[in-house]
Chain A
Amino acid sequence: MATVVIGVAAFRDRLAAMSLPRLVVTPQLMGRPVGAPNDKTRQREILLAALDLLENAQAGKAIVDLT
């Protein structure tokens, strides 16, 4: 199975150290990695970045940093 992780910027170093297949780092406060409450536009953008990485990453440790 292909996987993608969406995580907040505060955990960027820790997530990067795990050598994950795909990682989207978001400019969000802890507890809300996909976006602020009811900010549907931003939430969709973050998820679409994750889905794009799922489909198009060519190798592991692929990181998209949205910060």
Chain B
Amino acid sequence: MQTKKLNKEDRTQMTTSPESPVSESLAEFKNSFAYGTRTDLNFKFLKNLPDADAAQFFQDLLHKLGDTLDDGDLTRVADHVFAWQAKAYAGAGNWRYPDGPFTPLHKPLAAAKVALLTSSGHFVAGDDPEPFGIKGMTQTEAMARIDDFLKEEPVLSVIPRDTPAAQLRVRHGGYDIRSAQADPNVAFPLAHLRDFAQEGRLGELAANAYSFVGACAQTPLLKRTGPQWVKRLQAEAIDAVVLVPV
């Protein structure tokens, strides 16, 4: 039986048949979850792992699934994925600062105006930022264009503080948004901050919350766009900001 090695065309149109089975290396397999043939952003971290580690991940996962088939406890599976996500992203990364600024909150929280800013890609229904001029871009399309997003300056979506969850939308090609779709509070906790304001824990919730797609050109964000956003928040007399990166 002859086998053929995957080429680029094969990767985009994978078919298998008894007549022409394809071979795939472990590296190709694990990388396929990160914007490849098996894209699954919950597992894109596999691309960061050495092949041997990726193999260990799958071996241990299957073993734990075996136990779970008996007792139904999925906690061990979630813990396994959690541990390996941490392993895959361990290390200081590219953005290292030996020191950073610190601004004390000069008043009690119960007297402070607090804002929310997230990189989760949320926006209000009817106010789609329409990246690249595209109306109604789907999550799948966003994932397919991740390289384009990473070259673009981000757009800040303005979300009035009273926006109900049903009016929130999310699209972000850099992470699995299913949780954020099911419950915006996992990454855009505006409803909770509204509650805290009503409970008197905050002096005031800012009139608007903000969100953008964090998968964007990082240097312009750092040097130009981010500082513009800071000025906007300062103009609103915001005392404190809760920042949620995804």
Contacts and interface: CB of A to CB of B under 8 A. Distances in A.
Given A3-B243, A19-B98, A37-B186, A55 B105 contact: yes
Contacts of B97: 17-19
Interface residues of A, number: 47
Interface residues of B, number: 59
Residue of A16, A17, A57 most packed against chain B (CB within 10 A) = A17
Contacts of A28: 82, 186
Interface string A51-67: 10011011111000000
Contacts of B91: 13-14
A33 B246 contact: yes
B127 interface: no
Residue of B81, B187, B238, B239 most packed against chain A (CB within 10 A) = B187
**7 cross-chain pairs, A with B, having the tightest CB-CB distances, nearest first:** A60-B102, A19-B100, A17-B92, A37-B183, A14-B93, A32-B186, A10-B85
Interface of B: 41-42, 45, 78, 81-82, 85-86, 88-93, 95-105, 108-109, 112, 114, 175-180, 182-183, 185-187, 189, 192-193, 195-196, 201-202, 230, 233-234, 238-246
Interface of A: 1-21, 27-38, 40, 43-44, 47-48, 50-51, 54-55, 57-61
